[in-house]
A and B are shown apart, each in its own frame.
Chain A
């Protein structure tokens, strides 16, 4: 697929600027997401953060990792999936922050990063929506995650304990990083000049 033909309508200057701006934001948040993950594992204790640590990849209801087929989709469809994921992430990150506030109350930097990540995901999602609207592609997003609030309010198995909550938090932080990185890549293909 030629990404430039996907945006075959010549982009107005303001749309081009918006795309560049959103792409830059996604790039910045990719870096922040890596820092969040480092901060998170530091506070959960070993084996979190040890090389080779491979916890169960607990499925998170309402959000999954980018599919292997994601890269092969049309760019507008990819951006719709990016926006949907970014829409689901704030609620999940907030939930992780609330749990970490009980588990690690003396880790203000971790809590602040989680709070910031929720806000940043919201902002990036809104920016991607703006780009999609400008591209005339904001219509039906198609099958995507459940609405964020509903996903975050799902009652869980109460036998699950604190260790599994740590693992889940790790999973959510990982998903956040995967989706902002994926968004950066997808927007990069829209930037005139074809930035990756």
Chain B
């Protein structure tokens, strides 16, 4: 390949020549420049062919007309780059059959298939072309994170260095090996969880660390990330809990009961799973999260609004699996399940409001403290179920007795006393 004079930072083509030859042997091509009968076009060749250059570098190229055709001359030839005619002052004739071009401070390639530099005859017909690849070498990929779904596979994601913009096609290859023995392996299933991700579907060892890294390569060079070391057991996630059911708790207007099943894929191993619940009112986007749901498959939501539809989701963290000390990775949230709290039977200003009346336990701070007390009991007293049940019974009794007292005392909706028949409390 004849060499032009590249700019100071120009690099020679690094794209493997044998690969290109292989492509050409599979491609059916005629010789470029064989004129069609009657076309009248002279043939030419551009040098260098398909160079690779750094952004900001310069390029000197030549278009040489084949001299075997009578009358062939470089007089009147001109250049275009990506379809735009280049200013004539950038070109000059070297001799009768060669037109030179000097380009400085090149911008990054407009498309990954290369910028099209074309030599034209006076009549505009195309004599020859060359594709320029102008860009940057890759920077080090970073921020590798991996997770295993039910200990069966491993998916990793990473961030390309320099936000990925090299103007050249950059190939990313995720590599992995067992830390103390074994050969390098290359991940093969890319883009499974976004553009910079790869999935290793099988044949992964447990209880032994892997080393994982990413190599980025383009025409201008390569870069390698730092190595991430992990044991598959330390990055396990699982499926969302199935069969999430949300139901009312008798007539209690501010509570809903949530039940679910442990994710079946890990149910034989999940001795210490954690769960989280989140819920929101139907027409709200704000989720409330219940965080302190440890290794159990039911929970009661309290302090809810009566007569309101709630959406509920549950997720699972299989931490501590096989004795792993790491935090574990939360599953996706389960599909939303909806249920509504019973409507309040009390009337009053605002109808259906669940603000407390006299004699009822106040909401807000008291309820909060009560919840904290019950949470403490759950951890230390081993009789949490009993406490909740008793609390519910007490609340139901309080509501009933409040209703009865209001009727006895003839308290009107406005709060004024009517004709009272008994002493006020």
Q: Which A positions have Cβ atoms within 8 angstroms of B?
A: 43-48, 50, 53-62, 91-92, 95-96, 98-99, 102-106, 151-168
| A161:B83 contact, CB within 8 angstroms | no
Give the residues in chain A near B366, CB-CB below 8 Å.
none
Is B262 interfacial (CB-CB < 8 Å)? no
Give the residues in chain A near B131, CB-CB below 8 Å.
161-163, 166
| A156:B113 contact, CB within 8 angstroms | no
Can you list 10 A-B pairs, Cβ within 8 angstroms, ordered by A?
Answer: A47-B83, A50-B83, A56-B32, A56-B33, A57-B36, A61-B30, A106-B169, A155-B24, A163-B131, A168-B29
| A99:B23 contact, CB within 8 angstroms | yes
> Which residue of chain A has its CB nearest to the CB of B124?
A54
Contact with A along B4-34 (1 / 0, CB 8 A): 0000000000000001010111111111111
| A162:B26 contact, CB within 8 angstroms | no
> Which residue of chain A has its CB nearest to the CB of B37?
A59
- Closest CB in chain A relative to B379 CB, distance in Å: 54
Known: A159-B32, A165-B23. 17 other contacts (CB 8 A): A43-B113, A45-B114, A47-B80, A47-B83, A47-B116, A56-B35, A57-B39, A60-B28, A95-B27, A98-B26, A154-B28, A154-B29, A157-B30, A160-B24, A163-B130, A165-B27, A168-B28
A160 and B113 in contact, given A46-B83, A55-B126, A155-B24 (Cβ under 8 angstroms): no
> Which residue of chain A has its CB nearest to the CB of B169?
A105
| B113:A44 contact, CB within 8 angstroms | yes
Closest 10 CB pairs of A and B: A163-B129, A46-B83, A47-B83, A156-B29, A161-B49, A45-B111, A164-B32, A157-B31, A162-B131, A160-B32
Determine the distance from Cα of A158 to Cα of B50 in the docked complex, in whole angstroms.
13
Determine the distance from Cα of A156 to Cα of B33 in the docked complex, in whole angstroms.
13
Give the residues in chain B near A164, CB-CB below 8 Å.
29, 32, 129
| B24:A156 contact, CB within 8 angstroms | yes
| A45:B115 contact, CB within 8 angstroms | yes
| B82:A62 contact, CB within 8 angstroms | no
| A56:B39 contact, CB within 8 angstroms | yes
A102 and B19 in contact, given A59-B34, A160-B32, A162-B114 (Cβ under 8 angstroms): yes
Determine the distance from Cα of A95 to Cα of B22 in the docked complex, in whole angstroms.
11
Q: Among A54, A91, A156, point to the contact of B31 (Cβ < 8 A).
A: A156
> Which residue of chain B has its CB nearest to the CB of A59?
B30
| A43:B50 contact, CB within 8 angstroms | no
Is B151 interfacial (CB-CB < 8 Å)? no
> Which residue of chain A has its CB nearest to the CB of B115?
A45
A95 and B26 in contact, given A47-B80, A48-B116 (Cβ under 8 angstroms): yes
Interface size on B, residues (CB 8 A): 45
Determine the distance from Cα of A139 to Cα of B24 in the docked complex, in whole angstroms.
34
| A44:B116 contact, CB within 8 angstroms | yes
Q: Among B23, B126, B130, point to the contact of A98 (Cβ < 8 A).
A: B23
Determine the distance from Cα of A45 to Cα of B114 in the docked complex, in whole angstroms.
8
Determine the distance from Cα of A46 to Cα of B81 in the docked complex, in whole angstroms.
8
A156 and B28 in contact, given A45-B114, A56-B39 (Cβ under 8 angstroms): yes
A168 and B27 in contact, given A44-B113, A46-B83 (Cβ under 8 angstroms): yes
> Which residue of chain A has its CB nearest to the CB of B2?
A159
- Closest CB in chain B relative to A51 CB, distance in Å: 10
Give the residues in chain A near B29, CB-CB below 8 Å.
58, 61, 154, 156-157, 160, 164-165, 168
Give the residues in chain B near A159, CB-CB below 8 Å.
1, 32, 45, 49
- Residues B324-351 near A (CB distance < 8 A): none
- Closest CB in chain B relative to A115 CB, distance in Å: 15
Is B316 interfacial (CB-CB < 8 Å)? no
Determine the distance from Cα of A135 to Cα of B161 in the docked complex, in whole angstroms.
64
| B116:A166 contact, CB within 8 angstroms | yes
> Which residue of chain B has its CB nearest to the CB of A50?
B83
Contact with A along B41-76 (1 / 0, CB 8 A): 100011001100000000000000000000000000
Determine the distance from Cα of A55 to Cα of B124 in the docked complex, in whole angstroms.
10
- Closest CB in chain A relative to B79 CB, distance in Å: 12
A104 and B116 in contact, given A155-B25, A157-B32, A161-B49 (Cβ under 8 angstroms): no
- Closest CB in chain B relative to A58 CB, distance in Å: 5
Is B278 interfacial (CB-CB < 8 Å)? no
| B24:A104 contact, CB within 8 angstroms | no
Determine the distance from Cα of A39 to Cα of B237 in the docked complex, in whole angstroms.
41
